[in-house]
Chains A and B, each alone.
Chain A
């Protein structure tokens, strides 16, 4: 069974997906960070493929991408590191289309699947282009495509993007770039209720702006799961062998700590 199906078949709530940028804080850290995230409570890990011009991301992820690229990280190196790590939680690759196109789209999917990835998120891949050119390719290699929706996305389009997605649908909490810490309130509650009301095929995970236990709990109260990214990257500490991950995850998951 596909690892994401296996996860969502056994759990329907409080799914925690943690994003980090591959090659940051140092070129060889990817495997260690994956193991630490699994040990400390992540249900899914989202591995960011660094890009020079990450349009949907804020300064934190942009900076981590720049550092990773300056340190010589490449798609091949990332996939090599993934293939050597032994974790059982699903790995989702998140990147931008241009580096994938230069690598070769089919070659990327084939090698990503071989390296153990379960799904791919490419925020700037248009749904129409995906359907026409790449959907069958994803199926060939058993990789799940995950699309993003935002509060500005119409119901009709949410349904369309849900029908193209497999594993889960990624809901941006508000229209924003990543890394804007925010207080979740009525707007987000209404948006999450709207998503629930659509009775979508896929479980919905919300991301962007979730930085602490309070915001995480808010999302968990409304949706099956959440994605946390910039907040972790801000805490990754190259000087410690555990990158500060145990304490970050403890604070994220426990209200009293």
Chain B
């Protein structure tokens, strides 16, 4: 695809991206850069990838016209049900693809970082299936707030290693995973769970997740006769589900792209993870992007009620879509996300992940026309967040 929105040879999306890594990581990242397009494009990979997506993951996931939400917001709200994919989130698309890729590269061990645990579970699952050793790094704080997913990873045979530095969340888990990779360069593949990190990861993950927008397009066509919606909405931490949901619509300016980032207690509260609203240009985890930092260039601690969005940076592709104006990003508070989660549960009988709830909250902030087609990427299910929801249940008892 010739485009202003695809990365160049060095992995830059406009001013953002690249590979800002210590030399110790260079051979690993370079090996990936030289091979990923060839492997992803090979018939053998495509056949195996799509077979597993269909038979193991359960794709295509439904595109569901949510009647009660639609009535509430006087428009047509379609939910792309990634929560119905095996392991309960879109993350599995990426891990199936990257484990296949790692096997082609002859790697024996998989490492991953995880925030909410969905990427860790998806990685542990595919490693179990393909008999690969699996180590998942997770912030100690996240291990506590996402305990069910820790148990799942362990049951699947993965080792979960706590990251004890910093705020003990996703950023620190990522640091630890990168350090492990530096110390084990030969036999280990690092599956980054989002469209972040050094080139080629943002592009690799976006391509593997692009199955989402590809399905949205064909399903919408069969349901409505139109292959393009008026708007696509997705939550953005690193931004992998949004990248996947936007992918095939990026070149169609008539499709409004809306990302929802986690404002935490509010963008001006000091307790936020809204990297586009409060951040500035800088380097995190090997990539030039928008990130939360102080005047000295020290990366600051994010806050969000959702572990999966609790990250001070964002994928470079989103930084570019934001700075070029191609996509709009709204900051959604913890409170707004919780409200949206309870609303979806009661209106449609679907308990969303806290991350996804941020995307759903956009409906309360942006008005759409009666005849418009609005697709929300329902990136994950909320089982893992039940204890948080239960703690808040009284405050949101009246949400209908």
Contacts and interface: CB of A to CB of B under 8 A. Distances in A.
B27 A152 contact: yes
Interface of B: 10, 18-24, 26-28, 165-166, 171, 175, 178-179, 182-183, 185-186, 282-286, 293, 295-300
Interface residues of A, number: 40
A98 B283 contact: yes
B326 to A, nearest CB: 25
A124 B182 CA distance: 13
A124 B22 contact: yes
Given A55-B178, A177-B182, A124 B286 contact: yes
A86 interface: no
Interface string A156-169: 01000100000000
Contacts of B300: 52
A103 B294 CA distance: 11
A161 B293 CA distance: 30
Given A53-B171, A56-B24, A150-B24, A124 B283 contact: yes
Contacts of A161: 23
Contacts of B186: 152
Contacts of A128: 10
Interface in A44-83: 51-53, 55-56, 58-59, 62, 66, 69, 74-75
Contacts of A39: none
11 contacts: A52-B299, A53-B285, A56-B22, A58-B179, A69-B298, A101-B297, A102-B293, A126-B20, A150-B26, A152-B185, A176-B183
B34 to A, nearest CB: 12
Contact of A148 (B23, B28, B175, B178): B23
A247 interface: no
A140 interface: no
Interface string A80-103: 000000000000000011111111
Interface in A6-47: none
Contact of A74 (B28, B182, B296): B296
B22 A180 contact: no
A99 B298 contact: yes
A96 B284 CA distance: 11
A191 B27 CA distance: 16
Contacts of B27: 150, 152-154
Contacts of A103: 296-297
Given A55-B21, A101-B282, 14 more contacts: A51-B297, A51-B298, A55-B22, A56-B22, A102-B297, A126-B19, A129-B18, A148-B24, A150-B23, A150-B185, A152-B27, A153-B27, A175-B24, A177-B182
B111 to A, nearest CB: 14
Contacts of A66: 165
A125 B283 CA distance: 10
